[in-house]
Structure 1
């Protein structure tokens, strides 16, 4: 392979992943015109069109998708080996990209990073806060955080947090106007605060369970958020019942600002896990981070 072939393939990968010549140019630190010229040259040399261009989007053709399937693992392997060579220095170094939900970042990742990073100034962490179920391979993250261990079989899962529980809560002012629900079906008679998923835009159905009986309850109310902190604030203000992570409202329950209901319908469940591709050759910095975050009961 000629040196310019590798350069051209790297340009194609950047444009295909970014779905934009503009964003790819910013990522590679070059101009749009230069990238367009490179892609035309590569397509002419291969004799096939690799990208479909519209006024709003750039997407791989069938031939482009086939090339991507071969190209990503190969370039990832090269990048990993270059990183390992660079880490033959005395101290672990490099950038680690992680995607996680806001709750996981605040309760698990940040406390761990706050302890680890002062001792390793050459380790850099980029933390992307996102509630989507992100494809960490295609979006080039080193790892992601997800509840439980329901992961693709080609992923490694490392437990990084304790079991969690949900809590159904409301303010004393709310319960002064409404009866306390004792069974899940009674939620239909209450104003509830909804949560909308970032992925797909659907509303969260409250997940309740007792004695092996699992229920998903659709609720209704005046407010809908895609942020847990705002849901807690609305519950504190008396706008209705909310279901949130128990640790988000522990202090409010203790001081009486919130009241918990349906507690027997909220059993513990598996907590957060760090996951990453099994084929990934962990760098010294990444291995150190995994051990720092690993949950030890």
Structure 2
């Protein structure tokens, strides 16, 4: 294959990652017909079927999977090299793609992104808010932001926020009717509002700690939600006890709409970290972003 085939390989990678010609065409900014023609030409030149097409989805064949395993890292290296060329510019430029939780996006990232993009018009920042554990390499993100205890292995991690605490909260009316839990074990007798992870589909197990003793409690209740703002609303409405990072409930606790319980079982823990692959060479734009984010006590 020659260098003229690089475009076709990039198109194959997009289709394989998106598992859809429609989404891949939108991502690349080309028509679906041009994309299909490029795939047919690439397969004809290789003499191999790279993609299996159905009415609902597109997936790589065995040959396609082998090509994908080599092609993804190779194109990442090319992207890194192209990004490094921006060092020759007078000002940082390029796109920074970050996957992050909602809490980190609003409390830490957005203030920095707002200022960074205003001061550097050639930098583009894409924030993808996702409560699950995204594979930043497979999904081609430059970095991810997660709590320190949930960091992926083999990553460089930089602390970008202070320690955090969890808060168990409920409405005054709920506690007046059902009583107040004194220990985490008491939650078995209460209606609790569960949180479901969007990626794994599992329910969050509530984690408590006091004087070095750790407890993980599986709670039950009528409501299972996957959005923390809805969880706050449900708790205010008296539908049960909720458990979340305390920042989410600060205003409601202050105005008396929510009451905090089990506070002595909610010790501080490591806050948010930005993590990225150790093998990748950060671009000047990403280095500037990281330096701006780095937590300073």
The alignment's TM-score, normalised by the length of structure 1, stands at: 0.94
Instruction: Map 1:191-202 onto structure 2 (within 5 A).
Output: 191-202=191-202
Deviations 1:232-274 (A, max 9, x none): 1211222211111111222322333221111121111111111
Q: CA, structure 1 residues 267+295, in 2 after alignment: closer, same or farther (shift >3 Å)?
A: same
Structure 2 equivalent of residue 32 of structure 1: 32
| SS in structure 2 at match of 1:249 | helix
Quick one: distance in 2 between partners of 1:242 and 1:152?
27
2:61 maps to what in 1?
61
* Deviation, structure 1 residue 150: 4.5
Q: Is the 8 A contact 2:97 2:125 kept in 1?
A: yes
User: What does residue 161 of structure 2 align with?
Assistant: 161
Q: Equivalent residues in 2 for 1:255-274 (5 A)?
A: 255-274=255-274
* Aligned twin of 1:5: 5
Instruction: Judge which range, 280-289 or 32-41, deviates more.
Output: 32-41
Measure the CA separation in 2 of the matches of 1:168 and 1:25. Answer: 46
8 Å contact 2:191–2:241 — kept in the other structure?
A: yes
Q: Number of residues paired by the alignment?
A: 297
Cα separation, 2, equivalents of 1:254 and 1:26: 46
Structure 2 residue runs without a partner (length 5+) = none
For the residue of structure 2 that corresponds to 1:23, the secondary structure is helix
CA distance in 2, matches of 1:201, 1:149: 19
Rounded to whole Å, the distance in 2 between the matches of 1:173 and 1:112 is: 39
CA distance in structure 2 between the partners assigned to 1:152 and 1:250 by the alignment: 30
CA contact (8 A) 2:15 2:21 kept: yes
Query: Which residue of structure 2 aligns with residue 51 of structure 1?
Result: 51
What is the CA–CA distance in structure 2 between the aligned matches of 1:39 and 1:296, rounded to whole Å?
Answer: 49
- Aligned residue for 1:190? 190
The 8 Å contact of residues 210 and 267 in structure 1, kept in 2 or not, is answered as yes
Gapped runs of 5+ residues in structure 1? none
CA distance 1:149–1:263, change in 2 (3 Å): closer
* Residue 224 (structure 1) aligned with residue 239 (structure 2): no
CA distance in 2, matches of 1:285, 1:243: 37
Partner Cα distance (1:35, 1:87) in 2: 33
| CA offsets 1:149-191 (integer angstroms, 9 cap, x no match) | 5434431111111111101111111111121111112111112
The CA RMSD over aligned residues, in Å, is 1.7
1:192 and 1:242 in contact (8 A); partners too: yes
**Is the 8 Å Cα contact of residues 104 and 145 (structure 1) preserved in structure 2?**
yes
Q: Indicate the residue corresponding to 1:137 in structure 2.
A: 137
**Structure 2 counterpart of 1:245:** 245
SS at match of 2:156: strand
| Structure 2 CA distance for aligned equivalents of residues 247 and 153 of structure 1 | 28
Contact 1:99 1:129 in 2 (8 A): yes
Residue matched to 1:103: 103
